[in-house]
Each structure stands twice: as structure tokens, then as C-alpha cells.
Structure 1
């Protein structure tokens, strides 16, 4: 490492990326350094020249192989699941690779990269004159192996569920069941909700679209879907992205005054997650329910969605409740948007609540690209201007520590700071430092954390999911994450579940989280922070705002560029293959 000019602190990340033989691999191929996130091609080239001298050619096959994988990993961090060949080859040539074909061949031989050839399906069929003509050249896509395989499995699994589905009930019986459930609840179920539930009973895969003001319709849908599942004796499983969101669903269902007979759980719990990519539920041990409903489905990335679909047995009806105005998942993929684009699944729209309050109206303004303040007589929504990042940070901490608990009687542990970025004076890292000093100062005995700290789980583990926020507990005399005796770390999640932490690297401070990390969660009160350097987009701002249930404070330090970003940046497009996989059938 030192002789090639690489810093010693890269040793740990290299072993994590390449395994115990990382040292020997890097000595033989310095461009292996690109396997570590944060290492740039320029830095890897420098180390290669130090190690190989004149043999470090810009067109070295090893360099091309490493750059191809590096470009795909960078694309994955931006949410893309694959890159078209033309785009990838152009990027390689820009990096000085002359023998692009050799570079791509080497990447494929390594096994971390896969090639997919697909024929594009036109949106509208062309007139057929009896002459099939020549087959067009296929589209060629390159993907990281885990993402390519996951997206392929997802599309094939969804097609499997569609082909194997049969109605749970006929339409008349489903409508009658909904009416009977509504009478038991003493609720007036909107006819559009009833129509959506009939679709759920008839079709194998349904996407139920809704907006920020559809809480009542969502609660009615879940309670009545449970009634359909009970009446037809197929059983229902209800999941949400995080424990926080699952607890909120349970609260909404209990507020209807009727026991739906279904308890919401996090998706990690439903799939019996044990570690990232390792789950107890799958094709050999499917979910024991004929109706599987997932709320907050915009959170789903390709890998989680593929695991969910694999765990659904043939004949299972899968229902995804999704707000299309939200940002796509934090991890690669654009699952719900791709399903809607593919037109291969059934779609219904849930109605807005007639009495949608200021929170929903504010979000609706953002969704329309018109970020205007609305009337908020009960201080449900408060905009707090700030003229600098430091001022924004000061106001955010003041809101969670004093203003919201004092004025609205919402305790600090129910207030979540959601910020547009991780770094900077008003980013998640700085805000977490300030909150820890106020709420739970301590020595950081457990990797910088202490018992009682609010923590964010950054990866899946036994019973928890990436994005879960809870409080750190330390159990003396237990088994630590390494399997030895000592202090065992656990996280107390909303709903009371105490989950042992499989890997302490999964833990981060959680008083403040980024918008991406907050995706899929909802809290009684949210402080949304937009520092001056925010590059706002409509989906990003909307996702931050819709994380609040009762109160929202918007600390806005980005000036007029914030509103301009909401107006102009209407989408966060991603390159994926799912639409083509679904259409190929």
C-alpha cells in the first residue's frame, strides 16, 4: 500500500471489498483500489504508476476492467440499475480507454459485471404487412451482477405472479364484503376505494396510487382488504418499509374502531431478514398469506422488491400502495414507476380525504410544482427562513429541543430532523453532533455512540431494515456483534421491538437523517432542513415534507433556488431494465 502511495486507512475498506486476499490482489493489480467507494480513477492511476512504472498503461486491460465496474458502481449510487452499452463505452473512452471491447470483455470475465441483450418493445404495435423483415439489433445493457440478476428476477417473478393469479372473490362478493366491513367500522367508504378493492380481489398485482391527503382512504383500504382476506380465508400480510411506518399503520387501523385482524410489520420482519441479502422467507419458505399488501411502496428498490416477490407463492395477490410524487428508492431501481410505465399491472387511484389539512395541502402544492405556503391555523406547517447554513442548523436544533415540544407538546423523541444532505454545517452529521451534545452527551463508548442515543440503521439485519430509526440499548453480559461475550448492542424500534444489532457498522446517529434515509418513515413531527447549497428537486422536497404526520417545520436557507428547484426539477429519472423485462414476459 505505502509503496504505491495509497493511504494506510484504505486497508480496512479494501479487505471489506475484496476479502482477506486484498493485499496480494492490489499488489498485482493496483486498479483494484477502485473497488473502494471514494477512490477516484485519478488516484488509482497514480498508485498504478507508482507500483508498475512504465507498465502502467492507460489502456491496460486491468485498468479497463476496473473502470467499467467503477462506472457501474457510481451509476448504482445514483440509482441506476444498468447502463446502455453506448453510454458505458463513451464513459470509458473519456477515461482514456482505447480498447473498450477488451475492457468490457475483461469485466464480464471477472464476474462482477453482466451483459443483458434485450429487444425494445414499441409502445404502439406497428401495422403488420405479412413480412416479418429482419430482426432488429438488441439493446445491450451492462449491470453489476447483483443488480442485473435482481432486476431480472424481479421482472420474471412479477410475470409469474400475474400468470398464476386467480380471483380471490368475484367483484360482487368483494363489493359486498367491503360494504359489510364499512358498516362494522361505522365508516363511509368512498366508492373509488371500493372499486380499488374489487381490483385487489380480482387481479394478481395491483398498484394503488394515492397522494399525501389519502390517509383515510388508505386506512379504509387496509381494513377492508383484511376483511376480503378473512372472508375468502386466504389470509393477509401487511408490511411497511420501516418499523416506524408499520407502527403508524397499526395506529391508523386501530383508530377506525374495528379490529382488522392484521398487524402491520416492517418488510424486514415480514421477510425474516437476518443480514443484508439473507432472509428466511423465499421461494422455499414463502409468506403464508394469499394477499400481501405493502404500503409506502415507493421505498422499494430492485433488490428488496425482488426478495418480496420471490417470497410470494404462486397465486398470491400482491398490492403496492404508493405515492408516485415521492422520490424513488434510496437504493438502485425505480420499481413502482417502472410498473406504471410498463402497463403490465393493474392500477387504481385512491381518493383524497375531503378534509385534507395543511400538511397535505402543502405537499400537494409542492407536487404541483407550486411551493406556496397554505393557511395553517393550528401551526401544522411552519416555514422558518434562515440566511445561512449555521443559522439553519441553529434553528433546527432549537425546534427539536425547545420550540416544538413546548408549543405543540410533541416530545423530542417524536420529532425527526430530515435534511437535504449529510455534510456541511446544516447537514445530518453536524446536526447529529449538536443533538447528541444536548440530549445524550457521553464518551461514545460504542463506536462513537452511547446507550440512549437515537440511531439510524443503515443496512438490513435481524428484524430491522435500512432506514429504521430507534434508540440504542446496551445489554451487559450478552453476545456482541463479533460473537464474543460482553456488551450486546440492540435497537429499540417503534412498537417496542428490541432488535439485536448484527453489525455495529450498521449504526449511525439518528436525530437527523438525510431525505434518502428518511424515505419510508413517518414521524409525528418533522423538521425539514434545506441548507443554502441544496440542489432541490420536486420529489426530494415532497418526500421530506410527507414524512410528517402532525407537524412540519421547514427550515429554508436555500433562498429562491429552493422554489425554482421544485418548479423546474420535476423528476429524478433513472436508467433501469425492468420495463423491458416485464414486457418481454
Structure 2
């Protein structure tokens, strides 16, 4: 881009760049090993030894001793020195709120600590961006960040942001707005309204008068988005189109594809190094057919899913029960074609890496792409060799990734690669209902086999009672799905019919016990959250001095005793965010009256789609459900990937014309 600007401004001649030798290929490093993905069953962290100095400091400040292990995990063995020098670093400990960090700082440094202390405003700025990341944002508009700082009694929020920039705690980016306007800033007219909207979004203009907005973010997410954009561009630029013989092989594979959409996908992948594929649950058969076709052509191909349940469903679609899909090299045993994102990133599954740290793959298909956050996507793309093909496939109507970013959404909007939209509908009454929700319509569907049942309730107490009745009696008796294969989904953890209340009622009915292992008993259904936003379904096996033993997707996980309260919940009832990526034979979706404001189209679409054969809806929100489906789209995430991809595509076009 710098070269293009230099030529356009007349500072340098285009001939200079063609006379210069081509740069050497960049050195490839093995991709960083991120934390395990939500669908995997990671080994739990071992117990943490808390230094006496940390224990003494927490006691001196009146903080609970149980905070010690989390402090050491977040700040390391030198946590005492870090906190004495900057007590607001306590905000980097998961679960700590600003008011708690303020109280801790006053206890450590005395009452002179004020809301405008530079250490406080810097830590608060970072904390706000980390909290935004938990909601999916990789950056925030400067005005939005300043407004959040003002809510925490910072008198000069703009100055606080500038100080954080000077210290390098946050980074600033200029994002050219689309169409010269502000997304979502409609409704008022006139210059005053325009100026107010621009101020709310942090809008300004660059040196050429083009409208831009100032975005602020943390280095880790900036590097991830930039690395992802560069990696995607690299796959496109290093892709070598097939020769005549290879083209003939791809065409034969397309002709043999099971559906027209699968054939279209095979042809698109034959011609491009990067392809996006979208569709519902039934459309998963199309990337499975692609992987089988590629392996039959001798390519090293595999597909990864969000979690173990998705891997199992993918394996069933492939040619063999274990997901090998044929195509073994040299007559040897074929490598598995169905993997998980976690397994591939941690090298627990997959083809292994070459001497440069790249995967030994010619084609990688990522299913459940909406659940792929920016950091994991960057790690996958960085590990693909030059010339490899990448397909991102998924249902764009589902809830997004637990981590920051919206990779599939941004790729679709950027339009920098071929896009294949499946025309394969989801079958049955549940599929028909969910397909309508995806386009904003809540339709009545014919369900002769009681595939969809609506259970109206008047209050939360009745909702809990009817839910327990459905799971323990009605669904097993009428539908034939046992309680252990039926999943309850509700909008939140709190409230009179949230996961806490529902799990307590379901445990009492399905697996009563004293909770002798930190509130849990053998046989309890649980969800293990080894990190914020990640959820792994499991079952309690036992407990001992080492911790709570869980069975998660066929693997044993030991959760240390000091981590049980923070990372393990009962799992008969989940939120839709915890359930995304997994399906059960039957699902019971609970919509109590106090949940109306939490509903949007993506939530309803995701929750209603978790049942394969049966869906019961415990309905207590009146018209709010219809309104959410028709009028409330999923909240927009603020990211940079779309702009980065478009900028790279624009920079590549002059070079292509010159060639």
C-alpha cells in the first residue's frame, strides 16, 4: 500500500518497484497454541500455589482469600509486586469489577487515590476493551470508549484515552466508513443530527476529506485481525489454478456430487484458494462431500468443527464411521477427515506439521465458521501452507463466536472471494420452523408427530414446573427421547426460570443427592467453562482431593478444587450461547416472561435449532417472541477485518492491472 501511494503521489516511479528483486518468502513460524476451543475437552489447570505475600496483601486490603489463586493465574508469581506498584491491575483478574479494584487501591495506597489517577484510567481503559471483547468486539469507537469511562467517574475521558494511547496500552485505527455515513445513525435529518451521529461514532475525516472514524483496540486483537487478513490474502495470492488434467478430475467430482449445491461448492473450490459456503444444518453434507471428493483426487483434506458433537455428525456424513473418508496415501491407513478446531490447533488431532510449522494439508474446511473467533481463525490460517485451499462454512443466522470477531460475517460482507449459498433446506417441521425464523418469520408448522409443541405458561414458577415435567415424563413417553438426551435452553443464568433455578429443579428430579463434591454428585450433568465464553458439556464421575472428575466428550478432565466453583455449573439447562455447536435429539426452550428483553432473532434461531427430532417451547413471553424474530436482529459487532480485507483487495487490483 505504501508503494501504491508513493507511485500515485509521484514520489517514486512504478518502474523502480519492478526493477527491485522479489522479496524472499516470509519465514513461517509454528502458530501459537491458543487456549482450547469450546467444543474440546481440555485438561484442566493444576492447583496454583499462592505466595504468602499475595495472601498477606489480600488480607491487608480486606479482599477474600479465595481471590488468591485467580490473582496468581492472571498476574504470575510476582503478583504482589505488581499490585503494590499498581493496585488497579487487579482489574485484569477475571470477575473483578472496577468498584472492587477501587476499594483495593484505597486499601493499598491510601485514601488519596482518586478516580482520575492515571494508573486507574489506564487499567479501566484496558478493562473496558477486554469486556467489549467478551461481547464480540475487537475494537470500539473512541467516543463510545470515552462515554464508558465517564460512567466510571473519569472527569476527562478523552484525556484518559489519549494517555492510554501514549503509554501504548491501547492502539488507534482509522476506519473509512462505508458510503460516507454512519451505520445505524438514521432517523433524524439536518446538520445538527449528522454532527451528533458522527460524534457518537467518533467520526472525522482523513487528509483527503474522506469520512473516517477513530477506533481503539488492544494489541492482541489488532495483531490477530491483521494477521488473519494477511493470511487470507496469502492463500489467494499463492493459489495455483489447476491444470487441464486436474480440472477434469474436479469436474468429474462435481458431476458425482449428491446435490446441485455440493457440485457448485466443488467447482468453486477447484478454482479458488478461499471460498465461503453458507447454509443450514442439512447443508453440512455439502462440505462433507467436498472433503470426500478432494481426498479421492489425492489431496490431503480434512474438515474441522466447533466441538465434539459436530465432529461426530460430520463423521457420519463421510464415507466411513470414523470419518476417514477414504483417500489413504500409499495404501496406508487413511488419516481421519473429521476433526475439531481445538484438536487441530493443539496438534492432538490432524495430519501434523511440516518442518516450517505448516499443516500437511492441501484443503482445510472449517464448519461452524460463525463460532470461529478472530484469534483462532488467525492461528488456523497462519498454519496453512502457501497454495492450500480454505473453505469457511457455516450458518450465518446462528449466534456468533464466544470470543471477539465475526470472521464469517466480515468475509461475506467484504466480498473478496467466491461465495456458495446452499439451496438444501433443513427437513421436517423443526427445520421448516427454524428456516422461517432465519428470514424473520415465525410460522405455524404442521407437526403430525408432535415434532414441535408449544406449552403456554403464565409465570416463571409454572415454567419451571412444566419444564421438569416435559424432560422427565412427557418427552420420554410421547417422543421416545430419554431425559439424558433432552436439553433445556433458557436465555440467562439468573431470574426465576434461569439456568440456576432450572438446574436445581432438574437435579432434584433426575439425580437427587447431597452435592458432596462441591455441590455436585456422580451422574450430574454439567458444563465446564475452562475460560470465559467457553463451555464443554460433561458428566460428573467422582471427586477426591485432587478435584472434580468429569467425563467430557470421552475424555477425563480433573478440575482442581479451587476451580470448581468458578468453572463448573450444572448442565441440564444451558443458555443458547453455551449450547451453540451441539444438537440433541430433543430440546426444551424456556421463555419466561422476564426474558422478553433478552431475545433477538439469532438467539431464537439458535435455541430452536438445537433439537434434531423434537422441540418443546415453554412460552410465557406473549408477543415478544414474534417481535424478536421479526424486528430484533443480532447485535452488531465492531471489527476491522472487513475493512482490512477490502483494503488488501483494492491494493491488489493496481498490481494485477500492472502485471
Equivalences, count? 547
Change in 2 beyond 3 A, CA 1:556/1:122: closer
Does 1:145 pair with 2:219?
A: yes
Which is further off, 218-227 or 341-350? 218-227
Determine the C-alpha separation between the residues in 2 that align with 1:339 and 1:399.
Answer: 41
The match for 1:560 among 623, 632, 655 is: 623
Name the counterpart of 2:70. Answer: 13
- Per-residue CA shift, 1:243-287, capped at 9, x if unaligned? 01111222334699x98335422221222368xxxx987995333
Equivalent residue runs for 1:299-448 within 5 Å: 299-353=371-425, 356-448=427-519
Q: Which segments of 5 or more consecutive residues in structure 2 lack a partner in the other structure?
A: 1-57, 181-205, 327-335, 649-659
Shift, 1:39, TM fit: 3.9
Are the equivalent residues in 1 in contact too, given 2:491–2:575 (CA < 8 A)? yes
Equivalent residue runs for 1:90-109 within 5 Å: 90-100=147-157, 103-104=160-161, 107-108=164-165
CA RMSD in angstroms, aligned pairs only: 3.4
The match for 1:289 among 353, 358, 361 is: 361
- Per-residue CA shift, 1:30-54, capped at 9, x if unaligned? 4333334444434444554555455
Are the equivalent residues in 2 in contact too, given 1:539–1:572 (CA < 8 A)? no
Are the equivalent residues in 2 in contact too, given 1:151–1:577 (CA < 8 A)? yes
Are the equivalent residues in 2 in contact too, given 1:283–1:312 (CA < 8 A)? no
Does 1:175 pair with 2:238?
A: no
Which is further off, 467-476 or 293-302? 467-476
Change in 2 beyond 3 A, CA 1:28/1:249: same
Does 1:115 pair with 2:171?
A: yes
The match for 2:261 among 178, 186, 192 is: 192
Determine the C-alpha separation between the residues in 2 that align with 1:39 and 1:436.
Answer: 30
Determine the C-alpha separation between the residues in 2 that align with 1:502 and 1:149.
Answer: 32
Determine the C-alpha separation between the residues in 2 that align with 1:322 and 1:368.
Answer: 16
Are the equivalent residues in 1 in contact too, given 2:318–2:324 (CA < 8 A)? yes
Change in 2 beyond 3 A, CA 1:384/1:287: farther
Which is further off, 68-77 or 159-168? 159-168
Name the counterpart of 2:238. Answer: 164
SS at match of 2:397: coil
* TM-score normalised by length of structure 2: 0.75
* TM-score normalised by length of structure 1: 0.84
The match for 2:122 among 62, 65, 86 is: 65
Name the counterpart of 1:538. Answer: 601
Name the counterpart of 2:295. Answer: 229
- Per-residue CA shift, 1:520-562, capped at 9, x if unaligned? 1112211112222212100111011112211111122222222
Name the counterpart of 1:75. Answer: 132
Equivalent residue runs for 1:439-478 within 5 Å: 439-459=510-530, 466-474=534-542
Are the equivalent residues in 1 in contact too, given 2:165–2:172 (CA < 8 A)? no
Shift, 1:398, TM fit: 1.9
SS at match of 1:374: coil
Determine the C-alpha separation between the residues in 2 that align with 1:81 and 1:133.
Answer: 25
Determine the C-alpha separation between the residues in 2 that align with 1:103 and 1:133.
Answer: 25
Name the counterpart of 2:285. Answer: 219
Change in 2 beyond 3 A, CA 1:557/1:21: farther
Structure with the greater alpha carbon radius of gyration? 2
Equivalent residue runs for 1:193-272 within 5 Å: 193-212=262-281, 215=282, 217-231=283-297, 233-253=298-318, 260-261=325-326, 263-272=337-346
Change in 2 beyond 3 A, CA 1:432/1:374: same
Are the equivalent residues in 1 in contact too, given 2:307–2:581 (CA < 8 A)? yes
SS at match of 2:500: helix
Determine the C-alpha separation between the residues in 2 that align with 1:154 and 1:86.
Answer: 27
SS at match of 1:286: coil
SS at match of 1:178: helix
Q: Which segments of 5 or more consecutive residues in structure 1 lack a partner in the other structure?
A: 125-131, 183-188, 481-485
Determine the C-alpha separation between the residues in 2 that align with 1:580 and 1:490.
Answer: 43
